[in-house]
Structure 1
Amino acid sequence: MTTPWGKRRTRNPSGPTAPTRGTALPPTSARTPVPAPGPAPGHPVGPRLPPRAGDTRRHLAVGLDCYFCLVTAGLLARPYVDASTTVTEVLGLLAGPALAFSFLNQVVLTAVTGAGLGKLIMGIRVIRLPDAGRPGLWRLVRRWLYGLSLLPLQPWYGLRSFLTGPAPGPDVPHPVALPNGCTGEPYTDPSGLRQVRRRDLAAHRDAMAFPH
């Protein structure tokens, strides 16, 4: 075929030319496949960790724990209280049994059954991150001591949040990348523990035992 000026069009010997109009593209199966992005290095592949239990459920569990603690401490201190006992002496008599019950409930019972008395009633379990296993005794002791030191400051934090609203900074947690490669909800437990619903934990363990 010649051009309008009478010269024959020649092919460029240096390499292939771009496809002209009307040239069919190669089929999809012949194209080079693009590999799908995989998990980040160092992140194990597995089911997502159970989400944290709701605030209402956790607050009710804390309320039940406090109720049982006060009732038990009151029953133990009642034989030593009479009309001549002052308020300071009553508080001193209640402090020892309350601390003992709190330790047995939050540390010993949780290490054995996975939750304290209030959490068992509300269907909550305490798990260890990142493998969702049962927490060890040392982690539970650290968590119990942390709770005792933080509990007196809760009224101040609640009043400040009510008056000024949550302020950005270390007091307001942000979503962080979990060790299993997922991005979870805010979680600030310094002991690496999480409170989850019992049904969510059972579903997670079933998925781990029978992966698809």
Structure 2
Amino acid sequence: MATAGVPPLASSNRRIIPIYTDGFIAICAGIIASAPYGQAAYYWVVFVGALLLMSFCNHVLLAVVTGGSVGKLIGGLRVIRTCDLGRPRIGQAIRRWLWGFYYIALSPVMFLTGTDMDHLDIAGLRIVRRADLRR
């Protein structure tokens, strides 16, 4: 539950473009890092490792420093703490990043069963529009 003064959650339409942008960046990092490896086993290990490393840097480290991932910053969104509207702390950002993998794993099941789960204040963090923070 949001406390008074906390901006509303950004709409799912606003949140979808940053998801694709951040995913594209992570996949490109995996492709670039694994390109020199010709053997399939090494290629995929390096690809997945680079993808996860870029994802961690983008969603955890960058969020702690700037308040959002590359995609969120481009889209005019910020990740804020619901308690004081500040930037995420490292532990919160890590929990939110790990929760994203859980959500990815559950998405096909939710789609097939017709259920939905929203990203409401995961780890005490919320995605809001930058414009809503200025009000």
Larger radius of gyration: 1
What runs of 5+ residues in structure 1 fail to find an aligned partner?
Answer: 1-43, 174-186, 204-212
SS of equivalent residue, structure 1 residue 79: coil
TM-score between the two structures when normalised by the length of structure 2: 0.88
Gaps of 5+ in 2: none
Structure 1 partner of 2:48: 95
Partner amino acid, structure 2, of 1:99: L
Instruction: Give how far 1:72 is off.
Output: 1.2
Distance (whole Å) between structure 1 residues aligned to residue 122 and residue 130 of structure 2: 22
Partner of 2:65: 112
1:207 corresponds in structure 2 to none
Residue 145 of structure 1 is matched in structure 2 by 98
1:57 corresponding residue in structure 2: 14
Higher helix share: 2
Q: Distance in 2 between matches of 1:126 and 1:172?
A: 19
Secondary structure (helix, strand or coil) at the match of 2:128 reads strand
SS at structure 2 position matched to 1:133:
coil
Could you tell me which of 187, 192, 203 is aligned with 2:124? 192
Secondary structure class of the residue paired with 2:133: helix
Moved over 6 A (4+): none
With the length of structure 1 as denominator, give the TM-score of the two structures: 0.58
Aligned residues: CA RMSD: 2.0
Tell me the amino acid that sits aligned with residue 17 of structure 2: L
Provide the secondary structure at the position in 2 that maps to 1:191: helix
Deviation string, structure 1 residues 77-120 (Cα, Å, up to 9, x no partner): 10113xxx33x553322110011001100010010110001101
* Counterpart secondary structure, 2:126: strand
Please name the residue that 1:124 is paired with: 77
Q: Decide which of 65, 69, 75 is 2:32's aligned counterpart.
A: 75
For residue 48 of structure 1, report the CA deviation from its aligned partner: 2.8
Give the counterpart letter for 2:95 in structure 1.
R
Counterpart secondary structure, 1:80: coil
Letter in 2 for 1:75: I
Say which SS state the counterpart of residue 80 (structure 2) adopts: strand
Number of aligned residue pairs: give it: 133
- 8 Å CA contact 2:82, 2:121 repeated in 1: no
